[in-house]
Each structure stands twice: as C-alpha cells, then as structure tokens.
C-alpha cells in the first residue's frame, strides 16, 4: 500500500509537471506548437482545447477520488496525440505513448475509485 501511494505520488507529480509545461507551450503560442496544430489541420482552436484539457486533467490528479479519472483523461489524450503524431504529423509516437503508459499506471493504482463509481451507479 505504501509503495503504491509513493509511486502514485511520484507519477502524479511528474505528469503534472509535464502536462502543465506542455499546456503552457500551447497557450503561449510557441511556433512549434502552432506549426504542429497547423499540420493536424483542425485549426488553432484545437490547440487551446488540448491545453485546457491537459491542465484540467492534471489538476484532477490531486483531487481526492478523482485521480483515476484525471489519469484516464490524460491517457486518452496521449493515445490520441500518438495517433496524430503518426498519421497527421509524421513524427514518433514514443513520447506520447510513454506518457499514456505512466498515466495508465496511475489509473490502475487508483482503479478502486472507478470501481466505486460503477458500483454506485448500479445500486
């Protein structure tokens, strides 16, 4: 239990740092981010949606009984990011998949939160 808590704490801190930094680059309009979202072809509004999604999901990692949801949202974001990197941009998906994997570990550590939500809905 203590090991899982420590691992969760360390991964949540790392993921928060990474996603706050990533969202910051998107919101600041760094040329690399602007070009990346141009390559996707959905317009710059999607850059802002992605940034706010990253910030909100990272924040959920710190709310009681919301860590699994935050981690799950980050995992989905990174899987979608990996697909965009491979099919729209032509870059490596390894960084995005690595973050998805770390997010998945946090989600698994806190899976009882999701099971509790499902159980409450059934009863």
Report pLDDT digits (tens) over 79-93: 999 999 999 999 999
pLDDT at position 115: 80
Q: Given CA atoms 122, 68, 3, 5 in this order, what sign does their dihedral have? A: negative
What are the C-alpha distances in Å from 73 to residues 56, 65, 84?
A: 9, 14, 16
Tokens of 5: 């808590």
- Give the Cα separation of 58 and 19 in Å (integer): 7
pTM, full prediction: 0.91
- Between 50 and 115, name the one with better pLDDT: 50
What are the C-alpha distances in Å from 123 to residues 20, 57, 111, 118?
A: 37, 28, 19, 9
Residue 1 banded pLDDT, cuts 50, 70, 90: confident
Report pLDDT digits (tens) over 21-65: 999 999 999 999 999 999 999 999 999 999 999 999 999 999 999
Name the helix (H) or strand (E) containing 37.
helix 31-40
- Give the Cα separation of 39 and 119 in Å (integer): 42
DSSP 3-state of 40: helix
């Amino acid at each position: 239990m203590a090991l899982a808590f420590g691992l969760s704490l360390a991964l949540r801190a790392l993921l928060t740092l990474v996603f706050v930094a990533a969202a910051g680059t998107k919101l600041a309009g760094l040329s690399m981010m602007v070009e990346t979202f141009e390559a996707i072809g959905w317009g710059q509004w999607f850059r802002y949606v992605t940034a706010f999604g990253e910030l909100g999901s990272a924040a959920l990692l710190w709310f009681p009984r919301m860590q699994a949801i935050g981690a799950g949202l980050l995992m989905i974001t990174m899987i979608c990011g990996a697909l965009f990197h491979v099919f729209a941009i032509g870059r490596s998906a390894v960084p995005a998949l690595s973050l998805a994997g770390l997010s998945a570990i946090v989600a698994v550590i806190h899976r009882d939160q999701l099971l509790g939500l499902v159980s409450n809905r059934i009863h």
